């Protein structure tokens, strides 16, 4: 394992800080009072109360990652949720933070918004804005704030997941995992992609993955964080089976305005909700 990745993992391993909110989230919960404070605020082995799973209904379950940003709003990957977008009855969002093992909470999906410019299995505008029917319960459940500025090249980010993209090597983990990614410039990413450079959409960004497949965590729809902010959503097209490929994610800083407009006009039209 790369020594720099190992050092970062040792520094950021979650510790038992006893963080537990006094009440569950409601529609009236103030966003700024329930924000994730970063890796060192996690409780036990949890990776943050904002990390969720988006799961389809039916026997062949699709599992996508997601980021909880408001009482009724989750962000995920359009590529991951599109297969069950129009059959969302019974599909739901579930928490991944537990006070007791497997005591997760969930809420059914009410609606999804996907950009008109999005093309299935491409990385341009690979974002899904999901509205759930009721807020996610749980005393560890919390929101994460979208970053206002893009991290510099070579900064270390964090990706989250369960290992579904490397099931040929190891079964998925029951507990959520995280791994560091080193951000790279668009030019470097295009050079690595070579003949596959067309896969990198204008709203996408890249990072180096860990060298070892065992250290890689790459789930479509899962959050990418920098410090205590949300900077991306893992996109489609790449897996942990070839870690020489870059990790590609939707740059949320770049499309923050789009998300804000869609939230205020699609889900909360005529109401007083404002999103910064």
Structure confidence by residue, pLDDT tens digits, 155-194: 999 999 998 877 777 888 888 999 999 999 999 999 999 9
Instruction: Report the range of poorest mean pLDDT among 25-34, 198-207, 209-218.
Output: 209-218
Distance CA 179, CA 182 (A): 10
The pLDDT of residue 242 is: 86
Structure tokens at 9: 């993992």
pTM for this entry: 0.89
Rounded to an integer, the average pLDDT of 249-266 is 92
Q: What is the DSSP letter of 45?
A: T
The answer to whether 271 and 238 are in contact (CB under 8 A) is no
Distance CA 149, CA 168 (A): 37
CATH code matching the domain that covers 19-144+256-267, chosen among 1.10.3720.10, 3.40.50.10860, 2.40.10.10, 1.50.10.10: 2.40.10.10
Instruction: Report the range of poorest mean pLDDT among 24-28, 61-65, 86-90, 134-138.
Output: 86-90
**Exposure pattern of 81-106 as b/e (b: 16+ CB <10 Å)?**
bbebbeebeebbbebbbbeeeeebbb
Highest mean pLDDT among 38-52, 83-97, 134-148, 253-267: 134-148
Residue 9 has pLDDT above 80, yes or no: no
145-251, what's its fold?
A: Thrombin, subunit H (2.40.10)
CATH 2.40.10.10 residue ranges in the chain? 19-144+256-267, 145-251
């Amino acid at each position: 394992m790369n020594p720099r990745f190992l050092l970062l993992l040792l520094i950021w391993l979650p510790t038992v800080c006893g963080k537990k909110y006094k009440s569950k989230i409601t529609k009236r919960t103030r966003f700024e009072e329930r924000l994730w404070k970063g890796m060192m605020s996690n409780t036990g082995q949890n990776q943050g109360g904002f990390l969720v799973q988006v799961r389809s209904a039916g026997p062949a379950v699709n599992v996508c990652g997601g980021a909880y940003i408001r009482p009724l709003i989750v962000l995920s990957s359009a590529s991951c949720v599109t297969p069950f977008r129009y059959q969302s009855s019974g599909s739901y969002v579930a928490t991944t933070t537990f006070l007791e093992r497997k005591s997760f909470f969930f809420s059914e999906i009410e609606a999804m918004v996907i950009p008109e410019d999005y093309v299935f299995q491409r990385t341009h505008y690979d974002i899904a804005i999901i509205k759930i029917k009721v807020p996610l319960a749980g005393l560890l459940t919390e929101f994460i704030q979208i970053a206002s500025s893009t991290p510099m090249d070579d900064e270390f980010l964090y990706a989250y997941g369960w290992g579904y993209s490397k099931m040929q090597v190891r079964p998925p983990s029951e507990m959520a995992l995280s791994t560091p990614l080193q951000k790279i410039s668009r030019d470097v990413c295009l050079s690595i992609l070579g003949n596959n450079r067309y896969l990198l959409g204008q709203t996408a960004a890249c990072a180096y993955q860990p060298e070892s497949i065992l250290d890689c965590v790459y789930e479509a729809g899962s959050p990418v964080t920098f410090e205590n902010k949300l900077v991306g959503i893992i996109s489609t097209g790449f897996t942990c089976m070839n870690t020489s490929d870059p990790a590609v994610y939707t740059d949320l800083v770049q499309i923050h305005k789009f998300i804000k407009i869609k939230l205020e006009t699609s889900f909360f039209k005529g109401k007083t909700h404002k999103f910064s």
